[in-house]
Amino acid sequence: MNFSNTTDKNGIVEQVRDIARVDSTQWSTQKIVNSCNNYLDTVAGYAIGADRRFQWDDTNHTKLPIGTTNLISNQTDYSFLIDEQGNSILNLTRIDIMDSTGLYRQLIPIDQSNLTGIALDEFMKTAGYPLYYDKIADNVVRLYPKPVSSVTNGLKFYFQRTPSYFVATDTTKNPGVSPLLHRGFVISSAYDCAFTLGLNNLQPLSVEKQLEDKKMQDYFTIRETDEPNIIIPKWRSSR
């Protein structure tokens, strides 16, 4: 569904105003942009949190959610805040490191809560080839041990990021999610309009919004239809 289609009147902008029964003066394009971007955040947050085995990404992004950064000799901490296009990184899913042969190998994630009986400053304190990383803050990681040498593009990181947001001049741009969920953007903005302006159709729009939210949540519940569900029993010692 295009963001705006003034010819066929079937874009998000046109449908929002039809359903809310308002004109462009009462509910401007910028307000529709704001509503749609808020709903994008809602969809992205649910998609990322609903299934850890499916790395959701907005389909409007033109580059994959993979980046590289330089490995710096004796530098322990590295931050991953934005991608090369300026999108905010929400979650790191994996970090690889380049070895002496030029191949990338996966770093092992650890947490300081697992390091008992030793001071953190003493854990693998001698510089060497990093094996582990600990997320010590939002998208800030600490390498163990710290690197003994600098390597260009020595770290490759995989991530999930913010969606590709709408702007008021968009026309043919679609929401970067499944077409099955596009109507949710229309209803969400129409609901925001009715709520903001105190319109009489607020209640029916509230019901429609709940239905669209439920449809979105159901959509993201299980998506790995190509992976069979297998129950793996836990082994317990008979002693």
Position 113 pLDDT exceeds 90: no
As a whole number, mean pLDDT of residues 56-85 equals 95
Report d(CA 215, CA 185) in Å as an integer: 12
Give the pLDDT score at 235: 46
Give the pLDDT score at 229: 53
Report d(CA 153, CA 127) in Å as an integer: 19
As a whole number, mean pLDDT of residues 209-234 equals 75
| Residue % of the chain over a pLDDT of 90 | 81
Position 222 pLDDT exceeds 80: no
Report d(CA 216, CA 109) in Å as an integer: 31
The residue behind tokens 């809560």 is 113
pTM reported for the whole predicted model = 0.85
As a whole number, mean pLDDT of residues 188-217 equals 97
Domain boundaries, the chain: 12-58+165-221, 66-161
Position 238 pLDDT exceeds 50: no
